[in-house]
Amino acid sequence: MPKDQSEKRARNGAKNGRPSREEAEDAVRVLIRWAGDDAEREGLKNTPGRVVRAYEEYFAGYAIDPADVLGRTFKETNGYDEIVVLKDIRFESHCEHHIAPIIGKVHVAYLPDKRVIGISKLARLVEVFAKRLQIQEKMTAQIASALNDALKPKGVAVIVEAAHQCMTTRGVHKAGVAMVTSHMLGAFRDDPMTRRELLAIVGVPASTALTNV
């Protein structure tokens, strides 16, 4: 995050009752000591500042309104009314239960009614919600709902495939597994043929059990 944006966010956070940067760094020092190390030794002395700067990047989505991201749409489509899909949008998020990474990809699709949106905005929308503390089911629904509200299309579909480090690096330690969730609205929920067409485009077998949230 650029320095001027970082400073602006810190000022806004102070106005909203958020802890200061110094308080956040002190909290990291407490955790280092709790883990059993010396927060003042050479290798760790600057770690609190690095962690806070990393958190600003990890959770930048809180400072962005998805409606602003999706604010500009286009109606000059020459009558195009087929599925629009952006596949394999890589994302990195953090689970709200352990603040462990969630890493995966998102497929975002919509069936236009009268308007379309720039494809970069779809990727940006994913980032807005990924850069927050999340559970995968909620993030899937948030992306779909925001796109549906902005475009009012005939249908919206979001499919998320992700690995959860809270499961692979701790707890049950089950590596190599992925969670798949979907949220489908309008034609993608009501019309089996439209749904099958989408699944074929993104390469998800129609027989795959999707958690529709």
Q: Which residue, 152, 162, 149, is CA-closest to 67?
A: 149
95 is catalytic: yes
Task: Provide the β-strand partners of residue 184.
Answer: 157
pLDDT at residue 147 greater than cutoff 90: yes
Overall fold of domain 74-212: GTP Cyclohydrolase I, domain 2 (3.30.1130)
97 is catalytic: yes
pLDDT at residue 175 greater than cutoff 90: no
Q: Where residue 114 falls among pLDDT bands split at 50, 70, 90?
A: confident
pLDDT value, residue 8: 55
Choosing from 136, 142, 161, 183, which is the catalytic residue?
136
pLDDT at residue 201 greater than cutoff 50: yes
23 is catalytic: no
Indicate the Cα dihedral angle 121, 126, 129, 131, nearest 10°. Answer: -100
165 is catalytic: no
DSSP codes, 46-106: THHHHHHHHHHHHTGGGG--HHHHT---B---TT--S-EEEEEEEEEEEETTT--EEEEEE
pTM of the model: 0.86
pLDDT value, residue 11: 54
CATH 1.10.286 in the chain: give the residue spans: 3-58
164 is catalytic: yes
pLDDT at residue 9 greater than cutoff 70: no
CATH 3.30.1130.10 in the chain: give the residue spans: 74-212
d(CA 7, CA 90): 28
173 is catalytic: no
pLDDT value, residue 126: 98
One-letter amino acid for residue 18 of the chain: R
> Domain 3-58 maps to which CATH number in 1.10.1200, 3.30.2320, 3.40.50, 1.10.286?
1.10.286
Which DSSP category does 18 fall into?
A: P
d(CA 46, CA 50): 7
98 is catalytic: yes
